[in-house]
Structure 1
Amino acid sequence: MNTILTSDRLLVVRNGDAEKWLELLKEALIADGVIPYLGPGLLRLQSTEPPVPHTPEAVSAALNTRTPAPSRIRSNMWSVAQFIEQRRHRRTLETWMAEIFGVPVAPTALHDWLATLPLSLIVDGWYDGTMRAAFAKTGRTDVVEIQGVARANSVGDIWTKSYDLSGRNVEPAPVARTVLYTPHGSVRPAANFLVSDSDYVEVLTEIDIQTPIPEVVKQRRRDRGFLFIGCRFDDQMLRIFARQIIKRSSGPHFAVLDAENLTKNERRFLAASSITVIDLPMDEAAALLAPSGIEAESGAGPNSGGRRACL
């Protein structure tokens, strides 16, 4: 069967049905009818060993080479970061994170293609800044990035900071053609990182009522669904953020994932969130969406208003 509803109420599409759905999603992306939610797994499209960490566990390992954390927390990125913040100071943690993610990562064909589209919103769930780099290559001036920031470095009720593609700090612009939302922060342009347990404590106390999520993100998600690609949901923190970011959006939602390797918690989260699993290898899915060298269709350039596609 190409489409199945599993015993735990998870909808999975495979083979020919998966390819058909990706064709529809491609049309929806071109028409600004769906929001891409990008994860660190996309880094592996360029190399099996990306130049920067592509999992929380890999970040933990990189931090542990700088100062070993206790064995009971050594594989937990958030706890290791908290240990460093407490023992070596917040500034040391930020410096090391900037070093770990300092190597520029070349955008993939998918990043480059997405950067040409008149998308209202893109969510990038990792620290590497690759989607930002893809936008910069286009020369576009109608993109604003909104980054989550640690409140340890902020005065007052500040959850985010906004930048244009030159790196200039700007006011959040509701008139921007595309908003790039990086809820966990990013290495560029200012090395903002939500990474330690304490960074997330205040966010998580407010995120259920949506306070840390920018108003422009809430507005632009309202009549759209999300397409997750390069994402895993095998950690509670990642599930909480994904759940709250798609909250009050209209759907439908999709995720490109290997259905056979999902954890029980991932399956529960996906089913509860009504996220349809497109069961294809990520490289195949990315190639179907944006084959190497593809350009946006006529009328879908950065200054176009686009045409809403229905899923």
Structure 2
Amino acid sequence: MTASADPRSLLAPLGQAIAEGRLIPFLGPDLLETGEAECPVPTSTRGLVERLTARVGVPGRIRGNLWASAQYIETYRHRTTLVKLMTEIFKQTPPVGPLQRWLAGLPGLPLIVDSWYDATLSEAFKDRNDWGQVQAASRHGLAEVVFLRAISAAGVEVPLDAAAAWKTLIYKPHGAIWPLADMLVSDSDYVEALTEIDIQTPIPVAVQEIRATRGFLFLGCRFHDQMLRIYARQILKRSAGPHYALLPEDLTRNELRFLDELSITPLFLDLETAIPLLTGGDGGG
């Protein structure tokens, strides 16, 4: 892993590659801090687990672990309690930021990976009808083995093969508040997905096809959580590259190892500085 010596000079070409559909944006929750108003939802796994455990007490040994804390709530207070809490936490849509507005205005963008639960990106796309969302399915309440659900621009569940007709596919690998409030967050949500993920069963076929000739640019993502690293690793699997990540410089050892393992070039620049350079300043409505 070698950091770019001049990340600013790379951003305009990377933005052009996104606009032309040659590079896939992979969005994380830090982007929600770039909106015009205060973000009403947690923007990290740490922030989310703090919100959950403020409502339901969990043992101290797991209080800092989102997935284990959510499992405790599900086991001892029932799944409906966990779903209700997650829905309450994410019911407000954060303000659409300049990057999301820019992405929604790109007609040639085939895929966006959006790794958090919020509905900001679908809100940015609300004036378009040529897109859709494929999201992970928690499988609770579903009678059959289902890893994925497809949602049209109108917010209606449709067959997965409908994604072939969309100009832009938004992929939510951990589920989403919009429109079904179906979110993966407890350990049990991930058990079967993690069993299958190495053979790519939980990754949409359309995502596998699009990534085969492209690389990824991570924006607003951190990799200090093992679950997030596992999913990012599997989403990048068999993609063409190259890969880049906008990041702060205070990376953990696990993050540095992850970047090195996947040959991701870090661009050490803050989002507020980077986004205008990436978009050419075109973040208006």
- TM-score bucket of the superposed structures, by smaller chain: over 0.9
2:24 maps to 1:35:
yes
User: What's 1:124 paired with?
Assistant: 114
AA aligned opposite 1:12: A
AA aligned opposite 2:165: V
Q: CA deviation at 1:208?
A: 0.5
2:268 maps to 1:279:
yes
User: Alignment length, in residue pairs?
Assistant: 282
Secondary structure of the corresponding residue to residue 87 of structure 1: helix
Secondary structure of the corresponding residue to residue 249 of structure 1: coil
2:199 maps to 1:209:
yes
Q: Please say if residues 34 and 98 of structure 2, whose CA atoms lie closer than 8 Å, have aligned partners that are also in contact.
A: no
Secondary structure of the corresponding residue to residue 180 of structure 2: coil
AA aligned opposite 1:270: L
- Which structure 2 residues correspond to residues 76-115 of structure 1 after superposition, within 5 A? 76-115=65-104
Q: Please say if residues 99 and 283 of structure 2, whose CA atoms lie closer than 8 Å, have aligned partners that are also in contact.
A: no
Secondary structure of the corresponding residue to residue 151 of structure 1: coil
User: What's 1:13 paired with?
Assistant: 4
Secondary structure of the corresponding residue to residue 250 of structure 1: coil
2:216 maps to 1:226:
yes
User: What's 1:250 paired with?
Assistant: 240
Match of 2:131 among 135, 140, 143: 143
Q: 1:220-246: CA deviations, max 9, x gaps?
A: 111000000000000111100000001
Q: CA deviation at 1:287?
A: 2.0
2:279 maps to 1:290:
yes
Q: Please say if residues 151 and 158 of structure 1, whose CA atoms lie closer than 8 Å, have aligned partners that are also in contact.
A: yes
Gaps of 5+ in 1: 1-9, 297-311
Match of 2:158 among 157, 167, 170: 170
Match of 1:153 among 141, 144, 150: 141
Q: 1:31-70: CA deviations, max 9, x gaps?
A: 1000000000001112795210001111111111211111
Q: CA deviation at 1:274?
A: 0.5
* In 2, Cα distance between equivalents of 1:252 and 1:292: 24
What is the Cα-based RMSD across aligned positions, in Å?
A: 1.5
* In 2, Cα distance between equivalents of 1:129 and 1:104: 6
Q: Please say if residues 36 and 97 of structure 2, whose CA atoms lie closer than 8 Å, have aligned partners that are also in contact.
A: no
User: What's 1:4 paired with?
Assistant: none
Secondary structure of the corresponding residue to residue 140 of structure 2: helix
* In 2, Cα distance between equivalents of 1:189 and 1:276: 35
Structure 1 length as normaliser, TM-score? 0.88
Structure 2 length as normaliser, TM-score? 0.95
User: What's 1:61 paired with?
Assistant: 50
Q: CA deviation at 1:171?
A: 1.6
Secondary structure of the corresponding residue to residue 91 of structure 2: coil
Any runs of at least 4 consecutive aligned residues in structure 1 with deviations exceeding 4 A, and if so which? 291-296
Q: CA deviation at 1:129?
A: 1.3
Identity within the alignment, %: 46
Q: CA deviation at 1:283?
A: 1.3
Q: 1:166-186: CA deviations, max 9, x gaps?
A: 211112221211100001011
* In 1, Cα distance between equivalents of 2:282 and 2:276: 10
Q: Please say if residues 109 and 291 of structure 1, whose CA atoms lie closer than 8 Å, have aligned partners that are also in contact.
A: no
2:10 maps to 1:25:
no
AA aligned opposite 1:11: T
Q: CA deviation at 1:92?
A: 1.2
User: What's 1:309 paired with?
Assistant: none
Q: Please say if residues 39 and 95 of structure 2, whose CA atoms lie closer than 8 Å, have aligned partners that are also in contact.
A: no
Secondary structure of the corresponding residue to residue 152 of structure 1: coil
